[in-house]
Amino acid sequence: MTQHIDPRAIIHPTAKIADNVTIGPFAIIGEEVTIGEGTVIGPHVVIERWTSIGARCRIGAGAVLGGAPQHVQYDGAPSYLRIGDDNDIRELAVIQRSAFPEGSTVIGSHNFIMSQAHVAHDCVIGNHVVLASLAALAGHVEVEDGVMVGGVTGVHQFVRLGTYSMVGGSSRISQDVPPYMLVAGNPAAVYGLNVVGLRRAGFDANLRRELKAAYRLLYRSGLNVSQALATIKRQPHLSAPVAHLVDFIERSKRGICS
């Protein structure tokens, strides 16, 4: 087994460290931590118990992963932080484990979590998500694939951010952000379709036109949300992205950004 562990790091005997892992000076790896192959742990990183990290992740200096949730009712019961593969988690980022016994905070794969971002207990983040510096997710936030969240943005607990949406910097998000939308402000409002993000993600012109038509019905037609959804659903064929947009809104418990 090939490992590159600085002698000044502190690693608990129950931690499981895969092959080709690098651990920098003064890092602390706690009990029952699992670290996947090829992951690089920077200096002064703290990874607390019951945390698992996948392969080829990069953890920046001073990040704290798997700490006890900031929840007044947490009683110390075992709970988990599960992080996938190929994530870049930068300096001083904080990600906490679940507040509930046997619960999990979940981070998918190929995400970029920038310096000093905060992900609270029981959040679920998908894949290819970007959280810019000082973005903060409260507990139970759900972030679907491909979302971009600007810096110094606060997201209220239990809010959902739909796939390929983009949230502008310094925003306050207190309601669900529908998929594919561009939102910003305090409180946040929808300003249009995330056309650039969709193009970069490979959505062809036909799909973009269908999503733009759905956006106009939702936000520019004068119809209320229920009427707009009913109109969209009467179309003879709904593409998968439009169907997902409809389903996301119908399942919203907090309402969607205006």
CATH number of the CATH domain containing 23: 2.160.10.10
- Could you give phi then psi for residue 33, rounded to 5 degrees? -85, 145
Residue with tokens 């310096």: 115
- Are residues 206 and 216 in contact, defined by beta-carbon separation less than 8 angstroms? no
Q: Select from 118, 214, 117 the least CA-distant residue to 162.
A: 214
Q: Are residues 184 and 209 in the same domain?
A: no
pLDDT of residue 2: 86
Q: Which domain holds residue 126?
A: 4-198
Do 58 and 112 belong together in one domain? yes
Count of Cβ atoms closer than 10 Å to residue 251 Cβ: 9
Q: Please give the backbone phi and psi of residue 249, each rounded to the nearest 5 degrees, phi first.
A: -70, -40
Q: Measured in whole angstroms, how far is the alpha carbon of residue 12 from the centre of its chain?
A: 28
Domain count of the fold of the chain: 2
Strands 181-185 and 188-193: antiparallel
Count of C-beta atoms within a 10 Å radius of residue 72: 6
244 assigned to some structural domain: yes
Mean pLDDT of 36-40: 98
pLDDT for residue 236 is more than 90: no
Residue 190 and residue 220 in one domain:
no
What gap in Å lies between CA 211 and CA 179, rounded to an integer? 10
Kindly state whether residues 193 and 209 are assigned to the same domain.
no
Distance CA 201, CA 205 (A): 12
Q: How confident is the model at residue 23 (pLDDT cuts 50, 70, 90)?
A: very high
Same domain, 135 and 59: yes
Whether 225 and 150 share a structural domain: no
Q: Residue ranges of the alpha helices (H) in 16-145?
A: none
pLDDT given for residue 212 in this prediction: 97
Mean pLDDT score across all residues of the chain = 97
Split at pLDDT 50, 70, 90, the class of 7 is: very high
Q: Which residues are catalytic?
A: 121-122, 139
pLDDT in tens, 167-215: 999 999 999 999 999 999 999 999 999 999 999 999 999 999 999 999 9
Q: d(Cα 18, Cα 35) in Å, to the nearest integer?
A: 6
